[in-house]
Amino acid sequence: MKPKNLLHVGAGALALAFATSASAQDISLRAADTHADGYPTVEAVEYMGELLSSWTNGRIAVQMFPGRQLGEERDTIEQTIAGVIDINRVNLAPLNGIVPETAIPALPFIFRSTDHMRTVMDGEIGSEILVSMEEHGLVGLAYYDSGARSFYNSVRPITSPADMQGLRIRVQNSDLFVATMEALGANATPMEFGQVYEALANGVIDGAENNWPSYESTRHFEVANHYTLNQHSLSPEVLVMSKASWDKLSAADQRLVVRAATLSVPYMRELWDARVEASRAVVEANGNEIITEVDKQPFIDAMAPVYERFAGTPELSALVERIQAVE
């Protein structure tokens, strides 16, 4: 055996020794995020882990797997429900097919502003939606910001719904987002986040929609030049835990997890606001066409069938009204 291999075996044995010497009560929570290291959501969950470790002298730790290491977003949601992943930071949109209530904050143009979104999600309505996840195998811990989603594409600047006609626009795995694009006359193409860059580069799709940091961090801005700040969705990010993993924690540890998750929210938002500015600067320096002046009203008007379909039940339409009534 070559020395290199010997070394390798040595390291493995050492790791095993550590694993077996760890206390039976040590808890290592596996966390997933589709975003790469350094993205605000990833940093916030890492911060949550640091809090938990420091409060428990290392007894509880969070092991973060960023950058789709544990799979694309939809797969990781399934794995979280199955208890294979303990903590997952996802957008509300891919949860729409699992937890119907999550479609409401993801509805196009439901929020008037970021402040309105934060007030709603940090309040009673947001808590109710977190609670509604439980019967589907997920424990909702907290919401993170996701800014505003807007359209980008490689074909033409979009200034009105007429410009959307026939464009192939990638969306998340959410029927709500498919319906939103169709209501605007575009061809919706649901696709995993990790496939979008190549699909744009190869011309399989014409465009997609996302916030500044995602447009920039994925380098989509390099292959889809026109970005219209139409801000159709403020669908927030959410931090969820597997119900199966949650049930294994003591009540005291559950409280620590919730506290750490709650404290990670202001931390995330500070990073987020800075990242939006930094991402915008990168895209602007690249010379992309940014369409800032856009009349949102025709886009809003086109959304009536979407509201009818996804907020049609008395319960969901009441939820829409309650959100709209929040000052």
Q: How far apart are CA 257 and CA 126, in angstroms?
A: 18
Size of the site for ligand GTR (CB under 6 A): 11
Angle between helices 124-132 and 114-122 (to 10 degrees): 60
Please name the helix (run of DSSP H) or strand (run of DSSP E) that holds residue 177, with its range, or none. Answer: helix 175-183
Q: Can you tell me which of 43, 73, 145, 163 binds ligand GTR, judged by CB under 6 A?
A: 73
Asked whether position 233 contacts ligand GTR by CB under 6 A, the answer is no
Q: How far apart are CA 106 and CA 143, in angstroms?
A: 13
* Paired tokens of 291: 């369409």
Q: Which residues pair with 171 in a beta bridge?
A: 190
Asked whether position 279 contacts ligand GTR by CB under 6 A, the answer is no
CA atoms in the 13 A half-sphere facing the CB of 315? 8
**Window of 5-13, 209-217, 273-281, 304-312 that interacts with ligand GTR by CB under 6 A:** 209-217
Asked whether position 237 contacts ligand GTR by CB under 6 A, the answer is yes
Q: Which residues pair with 142 in a beta bridge?
A: 239
φ and ψ at residue 20, rounded to 5 degrees: -80, -25
Q: How far apart are CA 83 and CA 106, in angstroms?
A: 26
Q: What is the DSSP letter of 91?
A: E
Beta carbon nearer to ligand GTR, 30 or 170 = 170
Q: Can you tell me which of 27, 31, 32, 34 binds ligand GTR, judged by CB under 6 A?
A: 34
Beta carbon nearer to ligand GTR, 60 or 180 = 180
Q: Can you tell me which of 150, 210, 230, 242 binds ligand GTR, judged by CB under 6 A?
A: 210
- Count of helices and strands (H, E) across the chain: 14, 11
Q: Which of residues 83-102 bind ligand GTR (CB under 6 A)?
A: 90-91
CB of 191 to ligand GTR, least distance (A): 8
Question: x/- site string to ligand GTR, residues 166 to 205, per CB under 6 A?
Answer: ------x--------------------x------------
Beta carbon nearer to ligand GTR, 73 or 101 = 73
Q: Which residues pair with 28 in a beta bridge?
A: 61
Beta carbon nearer to ligand GTR, 191 or 257 = 191
Residues that bind ligand GTR (CB under 6 A): 34, 73, 90-91, 146, 172, 193, 210-211, 214, 237
